[in-house]
Every structure is written in structure tokens, then in C-alpha cells.
Structure 1
Amino acid sequence: MSLISSRLLTEPAPLSWIVHQRWHPWLVLGLVCVGAFVGQLDATIVQLALPSLGATFDAPLQHVSWVALAYLLAFASFLPIFGRLCEMFGRKSLYIVGYALFIVASALCGLAATLEQLLLFRVLQGIGGSLLGANSIAILVATVPTEARGRALGYFAAAQAIGMSAGPALGGFILANLGWRWIFWVTVPFGALAIIIGWLALPRSTIGARKSFDFGGALLIGPALILIVATLNHMSHWGLFSPVTLGSFSLAALLLWLLARQERASSSPLIDPRLFQSPSFRCGTLAVILAYALLYGTFFLMSFALGHGYGEPLAEVGLRLAIVPVAIGLTAPFSARIKDRMGEGLISVVAMLLCGLGVTIMMLSVGVSPNHRLLDTMAFTLIGIGLGLFIAPTNNWTIASVPAELAGAAGSTLNLMRVLGTSLGVAVGATTLAWRLSEVTGKDRDWLTADSESLLTAVHESLPALLVIAVAAALVAWRGAPAGKAAQLT
């Protein structure tokens, strides 16, 4: 039995000829960049498709939002689990398995006949994506030479930005010309090619001292995250102070308390509690959650406003929404230089002021102004620039706030918080839109039967939630950012 398990856990050797080529590290970099591209592409492409999926399956807002949430929560719940398993048993085999699971689940999503089937396959897709996310940076760092690592990480970040930017534009084209099933099938060829390259090129893992596995943390983290997001997503239907809502939040708080207690007691916790001893790290992680909640809350609400409120062609909607991630990608490279002049705290406030101004312009535009195209474009640009100035500096000072030996754990935790923020943004967008729509049209109407004027009014009245998120992010970042950086430069 031990011989069988040993063989199953033995990773396939790479092709010797490929390993000895000078370009081998860059081939591996290309492989992990494909994973980064596909992951971000899937996250943004589905946001645009949610209205179409809701119409196809005749689903209310809270139900159709789970097409996005099922993937995100599965990704977040399994990310720390797979991160530890890959440390214990090696990364290559699990990375290839992650790609295989991702593309099989993607193909099944495109074949789904019911919403329930689609949600199940999205969970499987999220598990596959989590295996990729838990491995990509570690594989890159282990393969690329130290002197080229900074450049490689830059290419990796660029692949993420390109995937996020391409999602709305490509999604709009696919929805307009091929139908929603192709938004899932489009990633399958990329994944199939990556499996072949991974099998031939990825080096075998170097496994260090075997750590114990935190079974208690693994059992608690998923239910806690799912319950929080599910309660936020269905709160408009249950009622803010209903027994179900209050009971769900109470149970989620209990699970989080048990998780924190378990992690403090574990010798090898999935989420290292020492990270949260730093006030700056606590504030930084919350700021990251809020930033991504703002980004994906904007995607959710404006997808419904542009596509079904104004009835714009989906290809045009995708191009318009792509302004936000493109602005993020163009601004982020300059954020470090601007941060050095302004300081971490001030740049965070200025960045979120730009985001808040963008949300305010949307509030003056959606369902109000006849010049909504121009105003929306201005708003998307400001939000993208603001997030581009906010995210990278916040990540940097958050990781820098913990001891060097915890930097890897800090980066993994921030990745988890990013996914959690995305989930919260979708949930907040869905619950506020459903709540306002029920107030505008009456309890017996939903978005499928609402006229365009009512839907635009509901989106307009939901946008203040994004403004609250932007203000909260600015305050949290100002509180947690280290002081004195700008003063040192004057």
C-alpha cells in the first residue's frame, strides 16, 4: 500500500531536453502566466454574463449571482488548504490536476442544462482555480533565476491585468455573437495546452520538512466564508433584522471565532495568526477586501444598468466596462513613484477620493442624464485610476508590516482577501439591487419583469453602497498605512 501511494505521489519528471534549454524558465513563466490570465479572464467575463444567465434560467438576482459566487467561494475556501497540501506533497502534480479540473469543469459549465448544474460545475471550476492559485507564484519563484525574478513577477502581474481587461471586452463579443456557453468553453484550449506544457516542462518539487495538516482549520474556513457571503447575498429577501439573517450572522461569527481559536492552537495553521498581531496588517487586509468589493460591485451593478437598463449591445457594454481594468493596468506601474512622493496614507485617501468621485458621477448619470455614455466613461476611468493607485501600494505596505519570515504567508493571505473582497462585492451588488428593485416595482416584481426605467432607478439607488465602500477603504488605509514616508523625501 505504501508503495502504491508513493508512486501516486511521485511527480513526473520533466523532459530533459527542455530543462537544459536557456529558455526553460521562461517557458514555465509562460505556463503560470496562462493560469493567471485564465483566472482573471473567468472572473470578469462571468460578471458581464450574469444578466444573460439570469434571463436564460429565469432566475432572480440573488440566485443568478451565485454563478459568480460559487466559483469565488470555492476558490477562497480551498486556497489555504491547497497551499498547505502542495507544500506537503509537491506542486507539479497538483498544478496539472488543477488545470485538468478547471478545463473539465469549464466544459461542463458550457453544457449545463439548469442553473443548479451550472452552480455545481462552477464550484468544481473554483476548486481547480484554487489549485492553480495556490501554486503559481511558488512555481515561478522556484524556477526563474533570482536576478530575473522581478521581471518575471512583472510579467505575471501583466498577465493578470490583461486577463481582467480582456474579460469584459471578450465576454461582450462572445455573448453577442456566440452565446453564453462559449464564455466557459473559450478557456478550455488554453488549459489543455497548459497541461501538456506543465507535464513536459515543470520541474519536480522540492519538498521540505513534512508539516502536520490543520484539519480543524480546513473544516471551518469554508463554512464561515460561505455563510457570511450567502447572508449578505440573501439579506434583501430575508430582511435585515429577520431571525434568519441575525441567526446566520451569529453562526458565521461563531465559526470565525472557532477558526481563530483553532489557528492559534495549531502547530501549522492554514492562516498564520501571527500576521494579525500587526495593526497595519489587519487594516491592510480589510482595505484590500474593500477595494475589490468596490471593483466587482461596480461590474455587477453596471452590467445590469448598461445591458438591460439601457439595452445597449453586449459587445459595446463589454468594451465600456473594460475601461476600469485597463485604467488599473495603466496606472498601477506609476503608483510606487507617486506613493514615494505622497506617502502611503495620503495616496490611499487620494485614490479612494477618485473612486468616490467616479461613483458620484455614476449616481449623476445612471437613469438621470441623457449623456450617460460620456459620464459613465468618465466614471469608469476615475474608478480604474483610483484602484490602480490604491491596490499595489496597499499590498506593499501590508506585507511590509509583518516580519520577513512571514512575508510568504502574508502574500497568500492577501490573495485570499482579494477573492473574499470579490465575493463580497458581488453579494453587496446583488442584495442592494434586489432590495431597491423590490421597493421600486413592488414585492411581486423582479428584474426580469421590471421595465428599463425601474431597473435604472434601482441601480441608481444601489450606487451609494459603493460610495460607502470607497469611504471605508480610505479610512481603513489611512489608519493602517505607515506614516512619515512623504516627510522623509522633502
Structure 2
Amino acid sequence: MHGPGQSSSSAHRGWLAFLLRERPRPRALRERPGAWRAAVAAVCFGAFMGQLDASIVTLTYTSLRAEFDAPVAAVEWVSLAYLLALVALLVPAGRFADAHGRKQFYLYGFVVFTAASAACGLAPTLGALVAFRVVQAVGAAMLQANSVALVTTSAPRQQMRAALGVQAAAQALGLALGPTLGGLLVATVGWRWVFGINVPVGIVAVVLGYYVLPRTRARTPMAVFDWLGLLLLVTATTSGLLGISALSGLALPGWSVAVLFAVAVGTGAAFFVRQRRAAAPLVDLELLRSRAVSLGLAGALCGYLVLFGPLVLVPLVLTGRGTSGLVTGAVLTALPAGFALAATAGDRVVPRALTDRDRCLAGSGLCVVALAALLAVPFAVAWLAPVLGLLGVGLGVFTPANNAVIMGAVPVRASGTGGGLVNMARGLGTALGVALVTLALNGGAAGPRRAVLVLLLVAALTVVTAWAGSAGTAFGHNSREEP
């Protein structure tokens, strides 16, 4: 006989198993040679919405200040809380997905992201909005930690770089459309629809993903969860990002910056010690011992720093000189447009004989050329558009190839963790791009040139990581999950 407690426990396990069970794709779709393209298209919904949401929210600041009678320092937490939670949760979300199923976590991530977006649009107070943004970041972490993994495990090995290029282009498109769409929504239907627009897209994405995403075949079981490792990781990333944000203008006491960075370094070191000793670590440090992974992640951080730096620099400089917002936006669009063009068409234009390492070197070298040109030419509209377009092309060639190098060196069973690390590097690069450019602009008239010089040095470092990290890298496994 089973007692009431046993029946309840069995029912609980039954519901948990049901929720974590991944459903297969329809056989007719699964057996089609190009089925992987439908899976990549589904992942692009999340890639697009993630970047759109990152760039669209800043357009609501003025409206939020007026509606909630709040200062800028309070309103900017709408973005900051999201970024802090997202970066801290990317790796644990990827680790959970590696253990329990990447498809399932991606779909549940969209459900959480969509529901939280609706709640943000209905938020009665600024505090509630910030809280809902944290929940939204939880869903975004489940999405982003699995996006790269789902692409690499869906596409055939020979198509992986092209598939990652399409995913990167979807990110660039979201980034490019964010300011324009955000301004349009705020000016017409109000700031709440900046969040509400996510709801219909999220519903379509969940239904599409349910049918076209492949199940997870290779998993990394997790008997226990490393809660101490998670606490150390959250503390390290949150302290570091708060310190970076303070450097870029967040209203915090001067002494707190040193304290935040000290805490970040201390807890970061403790996290790595913990990962060596934990029975089931969040991050298998064997992954980071590979030069392709560790230096590839450094390259990803530098690449996104170079991408986001001009997105802060150009509007501040041009609008400060009296250029209209319309012209500034058009000039700035050249950067993500060049990125999207190269990321999608690069495989057809660049000779196929070039390896991923060659493409990383070519793309990062092109970034150096573009930033050197930006340092030499007048900082005027006529010069900025073509130079930013060239910079975008370089990043569009570099990013998919660099991601392919990283994910090609990560075992299939750890794809979620690898994807989480890639997106964590992206988030840190984004924050550093904003902070370093803002700091450089505090230098008076020479500020813009100083900011470009910083970006040029980072681009040169990207060339170094491409040269040293991807040398000799080969794909040692079949990336696909299902036939």
C-alpha cells in the first residue's frame, strides 16, 4: 500500500516529468533535408526580440519619468536590472538546459519572457516595472543561453557557420530596428506598447518552436545543483556590472566603485575555485582550458564592445553638434545593416576555402581598418556612414566564424553551457562598450577621438585572440541532435 505522501510524491514526479519531456518534431518535417532551416528560423525570433528589447527600452525613459514622476537615476534601473539579471543567469540557464533539455527550456523561456512583457506593459508603478523586468530577464536568459546551442545542434556541421550568421543577423536587425520602432511606438500608442509588442511575437514563437525545434539527444546529467556556485557567479557579475555602470554615469558614491570591483574580483576567483571542487559544477573548467573556447570568448567580448561602442558614441557626438535625430539614426543604421548583410551573405561572397580562423582574422582586421579610418577622417555625417558600414561588415564576418570556433570546440552535451558563456561574453562586452566610450567622452573636445582610439585598441586585441585562439581548431564531433 502507498501512503498519501507517496502518492503525492509520485504525482509530483509525474508532473515534473511531463513538463520536462520534449516532444519530437512531426516526422514529415524531421525527415526533410532542409528541416534545420526551420529550426534556425524559430531561434531567430528569440535572437531578434532579445536585441530589439535591449535597444528599444531606452526610448521610454522620458515617458517613464513623466508618468511616474521619477528621476533619471531611478528610471535607468528599468534597463540596468534587466542587464544584471540576464548576464548573471545565462550560464546557470544553459547548465539546466544541458541537463533537462534545450528545446524545452527555450520554449519555457519564451513563455516567461512573453508573460513578463505583458506584465511590464501593465505595470502600475516604476518599482513594479523594474521587478517585472527582472522576471523578463529570467525568460531572456533561458532563451539566449539556448539560442546558439540550438542553432549548432540543428544545422549540419558544414552549414553551422552560415546558420550562426543568420542568427547573428537577426540580432543585428533587432538592434537596428529598436530605436526607430521604439520612437514610433512611444510617439503614437505610448510606452506600454514597447513591452506589449513582445506578446504576439512570443506566442507565434512558442507555437513555431514546439513544432520545428529538435529534441535534445546529448545531455549532461545534474544530480545536484551548485547553489553556492550560482551565488558566487551572481555576486561577481552583478558587482562588476554595477561598477562598470558607475563608471559610465550611474549615480553611486565614488568609493563604492572600488568596493564593487574588489567584490567582483574576489567572488569571481572564489567561483573558479568552487567550480574545480564542486561535484556538479555550473561550468566545466575543462571547456575553458581549450584555447579555442577561452580566447574565442575573449574575442566575443571584444567584438561586442566594438559593436556597441559606436552606438553610444555617434548619437552623443552628432546630436551634441546639432544634427537631427532622423539623420543621426540613419547614419547609425549603417553599422547594424553592414553587420546583418555580412552575417547573412558572407558565406556566399567569402571564398569557401577560408577556414573559420581565416574569417575571424579577416573580419577583425577589417574592423581595425574601419576604426583607423574613423580616427583619421573628419567626424562628419558624410564620412561616418560608409566607415560604420565597413565596421559592421567586419563584425558580421568575424562574429559567426568566432561563434562557430567556440561551439565547434564545445561537446554537444555542453552546448547550452557554451551558448550561455558566449552570450555572457556578449553582455559584458556591451556593458564595457557603453562604459569605456562614456568615460572617454568626459575628456572634452578630444573625447570622441579618444573613444575611437580605445575602440581601435580593442579591435586590435580581437585580431590577437583570433590569431592565437582558433589556430589548429577542428570540429571534433557531429553537431546535430536529430536526423
TM-score range, shorter chain: 0.7 to 0.9
1:408 CA drift (Å): 6.8
- The residue aligned with 2:481 is none
Structure 1 stretches lacking a partner, 5+ long: 366-371, 441-456
1:101-180 equivalence runs, <5 A: 101-112=112-123, 114-139=125-150, 153=164, 155-180=166-191
Contact 1:170–1:318 (CA under 8 A) maintained in structure 2: no
User: Cα 1:192–1:479, aligned 2, differ >3 Å: closer, same or farther?
Assistant: closer
1:181-330 equivalence runs, <5 A: 181-199=192-210, 206=217, 208=219, 210-212=221-223, 213-235=225-247, 242-279=254-291, 281-306=293-318, 310=322, 312-313=324-325, 317-330=328-341
Contact 1:161–1:326 (CA under 8 A) maintained in structure 2: yes
In structure 2, give the amino acid aligned to 1:351. L
Aligned length: 455
For 2:162 and 2:407, the matched residues in 1 are separated by 19
In structure 2, give the amino acid aligned to 1:3. S
For 1:298 and 1:135, the matched residues in 2 are separated by 28
- Return the match for 1:334 from 346, 367, 371: 346
- Return the match for 1:419 from 427, 434, 441: 427
In structure 2, give the amino acid aligned to 1:384. G
For 2:214 and 2:400, the matched residues in 1 are separated by 30
Contact 1:173–1:318 (CA under 8 A) maintained in structure 2: no
In structure 2, give the amino acid aligned to 1:418. R
Q: The residue matched to 1:210 in structure 2 has which SS?
A: coil
- The residue aligned with 1:8 is 15
Note if 1:347 corresponds to 2:365.
no
Query: TM (normalized to structure 2)?
Result: 0.78
Note if 1:41 corresponds to 2:52.
yes
- The residue aligned with 2:454 is 468
Q: The residue matched to 2:297 in structure 1 has which SS?
A: helix
In structure 1, give the amino acid aligned to 2:365. V
State the identity %.
Answer: 32
Contact 1:348–1:474 (CA under 8 A) maintained in structure 2: no
- The residue aligned with 1:356 is 371
Alpha-carbon deviations, 1:87-135, whole Å to 9, x = none? 3333454333311221222223334455444332222211111111233
Does 241-250 or 339-348 show the bigger shift?
Answer: 339-348
For 2:103 and 2:469, the matched residues in 1 are separated by 42
Q: The residue matched to 2:283 in structure 1 has which SS?
A: coil
Note if 1:391 corresponds to 2:403.
no
1:446-461 equivalence runs, <5 A: 461=447
Alpha-carbon deviations, 1:307-357, whole Å to 9, x = none? 6763624x5544432221110122234386499399468536622323423
In structure 2, give the amino acid aligned to 1:325. P
Coordinate RMSD, CA, aligned: 4.1
1:402 CA drift (Å): 7.2
User: Cα 1:484–1:12, aligned 2, differ >3 Å: closer, same or farther?
Assistant: closer
Alpha-carbon deviations, 1:152-194, whole Å to 9, x = none? 5554444334333333443343344444333222221100222
Q: The residue matched to 1:188 in structure 2 has which SS?
A: helix
Q: The residue matched to 2:28 in structure 1 has which SS?
A: coil
1:6 CA drift (Å): 1.9
For 2:107 and 2:214, the matched residues in 1 are separated by 12
For 2:313 and 2:94, the matched residues in 1 are separated by 33
Q: The residue matched to 1:135 in structure 2 has which SS?
A: helix
Q: The residue matched to 1:310 in structure 2 has which SS?
A: coil
In structure 2, give the amino acid aligned to 1:221. L
Q: The residue matched to 1:72 in structure 2 has which SS?
A: helix
User: Cα 1:41–1:476, aligned 2, differ >3 Å: closer, same or farther?
Assistant: closer
1:63 CA drift (Å): 5.3
- The residue aligned with 1:444 is none
1:243 CA drift (Å): 3.1
1:37 CA drift (Å): 1.9
Q: The residue matched to 1:244 in structure 2 has which SS?
A: helix
Contact 2:110–2:205 (CA under 8 A) maintained in structure 1: yes
- The residue aligned with 2:479 is none
Contact 1:79–1:133 (CA under 8 A) maintained in structure 2: yes
User: Cα 1:141–1:403, aligned 2, differ >3 Å: closer, same or farther?
Assistant: closer
Contact 2:97–2:146 (CA under 8 A) maintained in structure 1: yes
- The residue aligned with 2:82 is 71
User: Cα 1:269–1:339, aligned 2, differ >3 Å: closer, same or farther?
Assistant: farther
Alpha-carbon deviations, 1:258-306, whole Å to 9, x = none? 0111111123322222233345544332232122122223223434445
For 1:376 and 1:180, the matched residues in 2 are separated by 31
User: Cα 1:432–1:240, aligned 2, differ >3 Å: closer, same or farther?
Assistant: farther
For 1:172 and 1:327, the matched residues in 2 are separated by 22
- The residue aligned with 1:22 is 29
Alpha-carbon deviations, 1:446-490, whole Å to 9, x = none? xxxxxxxxxxx6xx725623531331331353255149989xxxx
Contact 1:291–1:473 (CA under 8 A) maintained in structure 2: yes
For 2:28 and 2:436, the matched residues in 1 are separated by 49
Does 97-106 or 345-354 show the bigger shift?
Answer: 345-354
User: Cα 1:123–1:483, aligned 2, differ >3 Å: closer, same or farther?
Assistant: closer
Q: The residue matched to 2:428 in structure 1 has which SS?
A: helix
Query: TM (normalized to structure 1)?
Result: 0.77
Alpha-carbon deviations, 1:43-66, whole Å to 9, x = none? 233355567766776777665554
For 1:186 and 1:402, the matched residues in 2 are separated by 35
